[in-house]
Structure 1
């Protein structure tokens, strides 16, 4: 009996990815699937318990042991654990770009251009995304792996495309920066550190199930396929094998990741700690356990990344029961806002606490979503804002930053070039404390606007994002419909995280009765009024109508009768539900490759019934058909 089941005939079509070595590794790691499913069920139980008993997340008992390890919590906090020496190619990561390595419904030569732009961008590292920014329609996760393998192995197909892309980058850079940024494109390909973001423990792979027919955790699949297919080529080139790990909520979950990575290393005969990982701090619970997570990952851990969107969503979700916790307009929740400011401070203090061998860790700053395309005034204002944000993070102690588009690399990177330091490892900050005031600070709401314009932004971009997702674009350049045609307002690169938070905030406003802070002439709503169901429905109708009228530059005409109505249905069910769904992506995932609104409604109802009655998320591919070839 096979230990894994691959759907349809994908094992043949993607034999370059599902190699005998990769299949053997997947089979070896498949038993971890039960452990991951158990940990995810425990996550849902903790979430439900907080809602029912109206409990805030608390710090761990210092005398307890981190689940899945023999580490005492207090030892982790004291740095009494073995961490990792930072490899040479991660010592300087001033700018890391992020984005997928594949495009939806595109031939190889077009799809792989994503990788060429990334590796010729001048970024110190590029996080090729298998999660929030990678579309999952059809076989995009496998196309992503294929493109990375071809690029890392410098296949002629990739090199031919890279030569063309180098010329395109230089044409843009001469027009925008006044100079060429790629002088020797073949040498430039060696400059950028290749990094891969695997999908989180909460997501399932769409193409593989274990021997019992249970969807295999996407984390197992992503990490295994990337490492097995590329470790030898990376090591031959003197490069580290580096992953980003998303959506970790607890140190116990980090220990599961550590078990997975160690098992993969053992299977491949690699030294423990060969695979290096950054952890995206995207969850409120994780911010209560930073040193514990770092200790649980041990020799694999190299650093943390801070960012806005997923983290905002997690705080909103953890406090869904708390009527006093209501987020303001999304633009107001910057990294200097209330709970965000305290979150960032804890991260920088956690990385610069040494382990028992004196090793510090890296802090990579958050995402710059701007794209320098628009009117001269709009681009100038947005680029000034982007540079100012980078300067702030550098001052605060970040060793580098993320950008969402290759054109931003040479605009933001000079901030760190000017500072001149490879990194800020070991910069002195106070050690973390674990007081009630610290916990309160991680949930601190400060006065800021909550208005109709903000609600329109939330609705418009959430609907557009759901629509883009259904078309295979999990990363898309979007802006509110009121600004279509206004080149002074730039498009921002939006990914799954920004969709999540928009619906999360709308859910808060509706179910907690957000108080509007401004008069609004378009609706007649007055400052002091409650954000009501009637107001929500009016705005939803109006914003949806704008999208139906938009030209194809902003909303593809074909989507208006296919993926856009499904996006509307999902958004409306999410926002109106008394029980807050844990993830927007769940409702989107179960409708991938489906263009039938009636089918979508059935699937959404099935998901919500399972969630409300049984506390179970449906995460499998509902269209899975096992391969007839075995």
Structure 2
């Protein structure tokens, strides 16, 4: 259906009239011109990537005399804080623990789907990032279910309040069993505790349901920002709550400036003062780490903080260094936040937020994700929780104002780390100012000795396959572990999302195409330390790990997926890993196969994607089932 020069797929404008309100459609039409800017920015991003690969070129710091695109701020001014930033609003001052997860479930009625929001807002987390991106399934109309559920919850609709009352009882029964105490005393009051935050999709993704007047798919970032803000800003303001977004996958200060223009345009359209909408930026891309102060300056009054998003970041480093045969990551388990380039990345983030702007304002640093879930054997849970707490203690010591958890059950396990210290946040902690030397640049791609093993390869393959399968089933975040540990309750499931699936395939691509040498003997395969990770070895491991998933019980691999989405997940993994040129995004191959259960159709779409990438240097990001 066409409205305000927009084309909305099927009858979604009617069935989601509470989401696609007249106010939302008006804002989409008013800001639709940004769609062209976003597409141009993404074409420029692909061109930079191509030039790096062809010319075997590393990412470098910007010229200090240059001006940040779309702004009048010079790079040298940005670096010394000569720009106008933001005060941190009261409800973001203390964010010891932020939970993350979607506000909707796949193929679930409203009363069940909205329970996700209830768990989040009753969890005791200081903030909850409701995800429209890496953890939100995109099958059918899930992105709209997500928006609907948030609107109902923020408006305290009766359907949400009824769900919340039931969920509070269930959460207390779990906590009584786990902690020996209730975690919720007054559930209605508890609903007001957590700051509501929304993560929009990145500039690189297209919305599945809206095209602009020219039939071009609307950028998902633009759609997500408008739907969330327009539908909820009045309710949030009436409750004295901030309007807060997380912005993912930003690579450059120019892209941040584009976001800033979009935010300001939306504020003007709604009659809000510029800077009303606050944003955190996920530092998930290597290029962004070379431009941290510049990104902060470009977002100006909107910017409140950075988050160190580990998994996407590892993948971006792998992608930026795909041309360098000597750059080979080890087993994923070895790449912790204290590993080589990760340690240097974290250090630059904390130094950037603790550089004052021209009014003396600092910004927040929200630490990384805790993927553990306290479900398993007593020994397994105990060991994993100790590890989770130790990780939180390290981040707190390093200066983080708080961290993320991937499950509500982790909130009361990790939050006491900050509670004990009692500091509201880490604003203004003293760290050396950022420098921009060759040594700094080298540190951001610093490798260290670490194992690369057959066990590591099996883990990479098994979880990547399971992740692709879960995505096809509508679960973009899923509790997973390698197939060899199914049935072993001492090894816990971890919450995995798009980024964790992608980095596994990235590392396998590196090992294969850069001829990584394995570091340990493996009696089962006959591999010796020093042997090269060959295509023959990859093919064998793929076959063995795939067979394990076919034989797994329904609990670990849904039986109905074994003949539908799992074979497609294998096709995608093989295409990604075996292709000579590293594909730019794993999610592209998954997205073009959403709602498709036919392996032959999947093969055609995957071939179309790869052919387009090779012949035109461009990605396919639109919904192939949305034909105008």
Q: Give the structure-1-normalised TM-score.
A: 0.99
1:113 paired with 2:115, answer yes
Count of residue pairs the alignment pairs up:
626
SS of the aligned residue for 2:562 comes to helix
CA deviations over 1:584-616 (Å, ceiling 9, x no partner): 000000000000000000000000011112110
**Match for 1:394 among 393, 396, 400?**
396
**Match for 1:363 among 351, 354, 365?**
365
1:290 paired with 2:292, answer yes
1:187 paired residue number = 189
- Which stretch of structure 1 is more off in the superposition, 360-369 or 1-10? 1-10
CA distance in 2, matches of 1:462, 1:438: 32
CA deviations over 1:244-291 (Å, ceiling 9, x no partner): 000000000000000100000000000000000000000000000000
CA distance in 2, matches of 1:498, 1:534: 25
CA distance in 2, matches of 1:319, 1:235: 45
CA deviations over 1:72-128 (Å, ceiling 9, x no partner): 000000100000000000000000000000000000000000000000000000000
CA distance in 2, matches of 1:617, 1:580: 13
**Match for 1:165 among 167, 170, 174?**
167
CA distance in 2, matches of 1:144, 1:120: 18
1:582 paired with 2:587, answer no
2:56 paired residue number = 54
CA distance in 2, matches of 1:50, 1:589: 26
Decide whether the 8 Å contact of 1:3 with 1:30 is kept in 2: no
Matches within 5 A, 1:258-277: 258-277=260-279
SS of the aligned residue for 2:583 comes to coil
**Match for 1:619 among 618, 621, 628?**
621
1:43 paired residue number = 45
1:372 paired with 2:371, answer no
Decide whether the 8 Å contact of 1:337 with 1:446 is kept in 2: yes
CA deviations over 1:503-555 (Å, ceiling 9, x no partner): 00000000000110000011000000000011000000000000000000000
2:453 paired residue number = 451
Structure 2 regions of 5+ residues with no counterpart? none
CA distance in 2, matches of 1:4, 1:52: 39
CA distance in 1, matches of 2:434, 2:378: 44
1:490 paired with 2:498, answer no
CA distance in 1, matches of 2:289, 2:216: 31
Decide whether the 8 Å contact of 1:69 with 1:255 is kept in 2: yes
1:467 paired residue number = 469
1:144 paired residue number = 146
2:282 paired residue number = 280
1:600 paired with 2:605, answer no
Q: Kindly state the Cα deviation for residue 153 of structure 1 after the two structures are TM-superposed.
A: 0.2
CA distance in 1, matches of 2:501, 2:119: 25
2:525 paired residue number = 523
1:155 paired residue number = 157
Q: Kindly state the Cα deviation for residue 432 of structure 1 after the two structures are TM-superposed.
A: 0.3
CA distance in 1, matches of 2:23, 2:306: 31
Q: Kindly state the Cα deviation for residue 173 of structure 1 after the two structures are TM-superposed.
A: 0.3
Matches within 5 A, 1:223-372: 223-372=225-374
Decide whether the 8 Å contact of 1:195 with 1:244 is kept in 2: yes
CA deviations over 1:425-483 (Å, ceiling 9, x no partner): 00000110000000000000000000000000000000000000000000000000000
**Match for 1:543 among 542, 545, 551?**
545
CA distance in 1, matches of 2:342, 2:129: 23
Q: Kindly state the Cα deviation for residue 625 of structure 1 after the two structures are TM-superposed.
A: 4.1
Structure 1 regions of 5+ residues with no counterpart? none
CA distance in 1, matches of 2:349, 2:552: 42
CA distance in 2, matches of 1:177, 1:274: 40
1:432 paired with 2:425, answer no
Decide whether the 8 Å contact of 1:8 with 1:625 is kept in 2: no
**Match for 2:35 among 21, 33, 36?**
33
CA distance in 2, matches of 1:313, 1:5: 34
1:507 paired residue number = 509
**4+ long deviations beyond 3 Å:** none
SS of the aligned residue for 1:456 comes to helix
SS of the aligned residue for 1:477 comes to strand
Q: Kindly state the Cα deviation for residue 148 of structure 1 after the two structures are TM-superposed.
A: 0.2
Decide whether the 8 Å contact of 1:326 with 1:508 is kept in 2: yes
1:573 paired residue number = 575
CA distance in 2, matches of 1:422, 1:587: 43
1:13 paired with 2:6, answer no
Q: CA RMSD in A?
A: 0.5
CA deviations over 1:354-379 (Å, ceiling 9, x no partner): 00000000000000000000000000
Q: Give the structure-2-normalised TM-score.
A: 0.99
CA distance in 2, matches of 1:31, 1:209: 12
Q: Kindly state the Cα deviation for residue 47 of structure 1 after the two structures are TM-superposed.
A: 0.1
SS of the aligned residue for 1:561 comes to coil
CA distance in 1, matches of 2:6, 2:319: 34
1:80 paired with 2:82, answer yes
Q: Kindly state the Cα deviation for residue 4 of structure 1 after the two structures are TM-superposed.
A: 1.2
CA distance in 1, matches of 2:58, 2:180: 53
CA distance in 1, matches of 2:617, 2:366: 35
Q: Kindly state the Cα deviation for residue 3 of structure 1 after the two structures are TM-superposed.
A: 2.2
CA distance in 1, matches of 2:613, 2:394: 41
Q: Kindly state the Cα deviation for residue 144 of structure 1 after the two structures are TM-superposed.
A: 0.1
Decide whether the 8 Å contact of 1:62 with 1:72 is kept in 2: yes
